[in-house]
Every structure is written in C-alpha cells, then in structure tokens.
Homo-oligomer: A and B are copies of this chain.
C-alpha cells in the first residue's frame, strides 16, 4: 500500500510535525521511560505490580489548537507527552495512579486511591488465580468429593468477584470450575464449558490465597447441596477436528487487484487513515482498544473522538454466587489487553492492513500486541439505484465500506467490534457477540426461568449485554446541541380534513441527562450545529442517531448491578464535556459501588445547548440463550448508525462511480471465469444449463 495521499480532495500536510503526535499511543520506549520515572519515586527494589500504562491524552484546550494547526498546515504547538498509569505495591491493596511527564521527566501525580477502588484484572492474575486455586487444599478436598475419573483435568476460569456489599471490600476473584475428562486429557482446546462443576473457589487477590470454597446451587431454587459425586456428561466440542465438516461450501474470494482504496500514514504510533473523503486518526489503548480521533469528512469536522466506553453483562440467576456476576468487559479487563491477534484470511477478506500496538505487562515491560486491529474495505450491497421507467436505464452505485475492526476475547466470550464508514457520509458502530456462553451445572430434569439448558447438565443463564458507545461530536465545530424529532398526527381541521396528515416537531435537549428512545413517536435524536446552516434549505447541519431499542437493565434500582452500571438505564446519556470522563461506568468498575460514572455526570444538570456536548449511546441484547448458542454462539449483531441530516447539499454518494461489470467482474454462476477485461458484458442474460426433472 502506498503512503501517498490518493485523493486530491484531501490536502497534503506541508509542515513538519512535532516529533510525536499528541494523540499517538505511547511507544514501548515511552513505557520504559515512564516506568523508570515512577520507580524512582519508590525505594529501590520496591515490587510494583503495574496495571495500565497508557497515553494521557492532551486536554481539549491543548489538542484542538494542535489539530487545527495540523489541518491548516501551520506550525503545531508543543504539547508535553504525558503518561497515565496505575499500579499496586505488589501483594498489597495499595492502589495508586500516576502521571509521568516525559518532556520534563517528572512524575506530576502519584497518589494512592481509596480502598473502594480496585484495579482491573490482568493476564498475570488470570493464570495465577487458576494455579493458586488448583493447588489449594480446601479446593482439592471439595473436588475430591466429585469423585472424578482418574486423569480428569480440572480447569478454573477466574471471574471478577462483583459487588454485593457482603464482606466484599477486599479485591477478590471468584472461580468457576470445569472438567476435562481423561479421554480428552491432551486436548488443550477441549471445550470445558460443556462440563461445569458445582464448586466455586473465592480468592483474595491481594493475599493470593483461597479464602472460601463456595458450592453452587444446581436445582430449581437456592438450596446448596453437599458436593455429590459427579455424573459424567457428554462432551460438546467447537474445534473443527471434532466436527463432521460440510463439504459443499465453495471458496468466495475477495480480490482487490489494484490494492485497497485507503491510505494509512503512520504518525509514530498513531495511524492517519484516509479513505473516500474520510480522514481520521486511529489510536489504541489498554482500556478501550480502538479509539478513533479527529474524524473529518471532505475537510469538515465530524467527531472529535469515537470509542466504546464500556459494556456491562449482568446475569439473571438470582442465587449466590451468581447474583454477583456482572462483568464490565472494558472496565474489569480491557478491550485493548484482551484483543486478538488477527490472522490474514481468517478474520476478514480482501486487502487487509493490520495495526499492532504496544501495551504493558504487570512488571511494566512493554508488551507487543501484534495485529490487534484490521483495516479493510467491504462491499455492502447497493448504495443507491434508480431505473427510469421510461428509458429503462438504471443508474446504480454500490456501497463500499471501510472497516476498522478489533476482536476481543474475555474468557469464554468474544466481541467483534467495528467502526464502519461509508461513502454516503455515514458512520456505523457494529458489535457482534459470539464465543461460548458462561455455563453452570444444573441437575437433570430441572428447568429454571432464568436460564436455558444448552447441554445435558449445563445451564446457560440469561444475561444482558449493554454497550455504551462514546461519541464526542464536532459537527462543523465543537459547539453542538442534542435535539430530537418526533412525528405526530395532525388533529382533524380545515388543514387536515381527511385525518391523513402528520408533522414532525423538534425538541431541544436543554440539560445534561439520560434520555430514551420512543419508537411510537419515531423519536430521532440528532446532533446539531445551529451556527451552520444548510445552503439549500436553511436547516442546521446535523447528524442523526439510529440506535436499536433494548431492554434496560433489569436489576432493581437499589441493587449494586444497577448502581454500578451507570449507563445501563437509558438509551442516551448527554453530558457536557469534562476532561477525563471517558468511561460510562467509572474509571474503576471492578467491584465498584457506583457513583463514579455517567449517571452522576448527567445529574450535574448542566447546559448542553450549543456547548461541548458528549454522548454515550447505549445498545444491547437481552440474551436468552438458545441451545443453538452452544457450544459456540452464532454472532448476534447490533449496529448504531450516525447519518448526516441536512449536513450536505445532496446525496454525498452521488459522485461514486457507477457499478459496472468492467469494474466488478462478476460471473454467471454457470461460468468459471470472467475475461480479463470483464468481457461478459453487462446485460448478458443467464445461460445456465437447464434441466427438467
């Protein structure tokens, strides 16, 4: 791929940039420098358990002049490089945050947080907790009661402990156990989720010891039985070598003989991505994974920052310990640190560009995350078509999309997360939920209304997935407002004598708060800039939000689930921008208590009209498992789309070249190949062989 700017409509930068772009994720070298600065604050040989070490993004007051200068080709101001990090003194509950200034080589901030704040889980802990539990005598004693067959492997997935207010001040893990039977002993990719065991060790993460071994309810109610000998159950594998694979699927290849239409220009660790009038910068961090900065279209400002803010997955089973299952996959773990290494030809088709990233491990060492983002184009059918019925001439354009995708694995579960841009000026955030259901043992011939039996002896509890997409807009500038349109029937009148008429009405959202959709009114939220008017119809330029409905969090308002999942009860939270308010559930969600997230920010009741508006757009699934979701779940897909409304002066995809056979080179299904010039002409009728039975 060339690094040349391919479109003449995108101005080439003419001024030398400062060495490191202020939005560039920190490099491995910067991680080392920040760690060295922080270590110097402590006595030598202090054992520090690092959590995240990440770019502290510049304030908007700093970044906007920089980005404007960059865009205009003028001299960019200097912005100090700052690193944000957090850490424990290892094996203590002393949780700290720090900020290192790499320009003046100082630690600007280094404080211990209160005991209520718990760091997210990291990779070191996940393996350590499993090893710890498996070596624990009390756990072994409880497992022994299962009388598992000789050679059975017991596996433990650690889970964030959650919050219920009952002796849960310490940072803990709960573990769920599964069996791998002796005849699968050497299969590391055996699906242990098909064989859950009724034992749940609880570990103190600080003391690194098992503090309790819970037994799981397996019946219709919350009775906890003594651990009984385990009755072997059938297996249920997802890896291909255990399947009788279909043999009748023929290849479908996406080829881009002239390469991709996008350009990636590396700005250090930041990637400027240009495609079809879009221009943006792609970052990556431990918490959010992909972050899209500074999105412009044809030179016009659209979004200052786009990211997945968090997601919450509360489970339906009311019984202990399941009542604590409520994961925040970004806040409790991290979309960056859980990102998959993507493989060519496996995770996307066509001409792919991969981005790698550098995060840090628990020792503060840089950790390379290879190919955690893929960028590619895809065809999404027809963009627009019209056939003149008088002449029979069709004008038709296809809908090419640009996809910036990452895939995260959070223990059993996967999310495929994509930022998608098209040629009609539309941005879509797409989330696909897949992976393996979180399972638990259930007695034979037992049904419960909070879950589905997906395998003999295996219950998959209902759960909600509630995502929060953070959109920091700059629709033709940073002073934006949130409004919504609704449609109402006209009453009968002289104007509307036949009762057929209706009208739309716009309402301005005056104050920060949580707001809901209302499909019965066709309520449609728009981000508007009233200072810029459409040249044809005089309407304020705007982008509207298409978000699907979802059932809000079901846990009651006094529950910790509800208090912690601050974004889970409204379709949209609209707030006035403040520095650092990126995470809708609060910065630290692990065993959180609530009160640190977007619900509180909204309660400030601030003016958000023609101000620096930030939106958190929620979407989700109430996942009632089907047996079809096991042993691995066909993707459930949800999309949020932002579309221009009176922002352009006509269809922005009107100038996309027409869809022609010469360009697309399709074939008749009867034919193996199309000529090199696509000489199976457009309009040739099908000549597939015919047969009558």
Q: Mark A139-177, 1 if CB is under 8 A from B, else 0.
A: 000000000000000000000000010000000000000
Q: Are A252 and B256 in contact (CB under 8 A)?
A: yes
User: Given the interface contacts A188-B388, A500-B326, does A634 sit within 8 Å of B650 by beta carbon?
Assistant: no
Q: With A316-B501, A411-B389, A648-B627 given, is the CB distance from A379 to B252 under 8 Å? A: yes
A549–B412 CA distance with the chains assembled, in angstroms: 32
A340 in complex: contacting residue of B387, B398, B400, B503, CB < 8 Å: B387
Q: Contact between B505 and A449 (Cβ–Cβ < 8 Å)?
A: yes
Decide yes or no: A656 and B257 within 8 Å by CB, A351-B669, A664-B349 being known contacts. no
A688 to B650, CA, bound (A): 36
Interface of A is mostly: loop
The 9 A-B pairs with the shortest beta carbon distances in the complex, nearest first, are A318-B501, A345-B661, A354-B686, A449-B503, A499-B559, A318-B496, A499-B556, A519-B549, A453-B537
Given A244-B655, A392-B341, A669-B375, the answer on whether A449 and B552 have CB atoms closer than 8 Å is no
Is there a chain B Cβ closer than 8 Å to A314's Cβ?
Answer: yes
- Which residues, 348 to 403 on A, are CB-close (under 8 Å) to B? 348-356, 370-371, 375-379, 381-396, 398-400
A400 contacts B654, C-beta separation under 8 Å: no
A452 at the interface (CB under 8 A from B): yes
Q: Are A245 and B655 in contact (CB under 8 A)?
A: yes
Establish whether residues B379 and A661, one from each chain, have CB atoms under 8 Å apart when the complex forms. no
State whether B434 touches A386 (Cβ < 8 A).
yes
- Cα distance A650–B453 when bound, in Å? 11
What is the oligomeric copy number? 2
Point out the residue from B257, B260, B382, B494 that lies within 8 Å of A416, measured CB to CB.
B382
Q: Is A652 an interface residue (CB 8 A)?
A: yes
- Is residue A414 within 8 Å, beta carbon to beta carbon, of the partner chain? yes
- Identify the closest chain B residue to A338 (Cβ): B389
Determine the residue in chain B with the shortest Cβ distance to A127. B390
Determine whether the beta carbon of A648 is less than 8 Å from that of B628.
yes
A558 adjacent to chain B (CB < 8 Å): yes
Contact flag A686-B502 (CB < 8 Å), given A254-B252, A627-B537: no
A344-B680, A487-B554, A548-B548 known; A656 vs B350 contact (CB < 8 Å): no
The answer to whether the Cβ of A343 comes within 8 Å of any Cβ in the partner chain is yes
Known: A243-B655, A549-B549, A667-B352. A268 touches B692 (CB 8 A): yes
Is A389 a contact of B126 with CB atoms below 8 Å? yes
Which of chain A's residues 269-323 have a Cβ closer than 8 Å to chain B?
A: 272, 276-277, 314-319, 323
- Report whether A391 and B188 are in contact in the complex, using a CB–CB cutoff of 8 Å: yes
User: Which residue of chain B is the closest to A485 with respect to CB atoms?
Assistant: B624
A251-B256, A344-B684, A631-B654 in contact; A551/B536 too (CB < 8 A)? no
Report Cα–Cα, A222/B317, bound state, in Å: 60
CA distance A482 to B581 in the complex (A): 46
- The answer to whether A632 touches B651, judged by C-beta atoms less than 8 angstroms apart, is yes
CA A519 to CA B412, docked complex, whole Å = 28
Whether A98 is near chain B, meaning CB under 8 Å from some CB there, is no
- In the complex, what residues of B have CB within 8 A of residue A344's CB? 661, 666-668, 680-684
A265 CB within 8 Å of chain B: yes
**Is A253 among interface residues, defined by CB-CB distance under 8 A?**
yes
User: CA separation between A409 and B255, bound complex, in Å?
Assistant: 31
A367 to chain B, nearest CB (A): 14
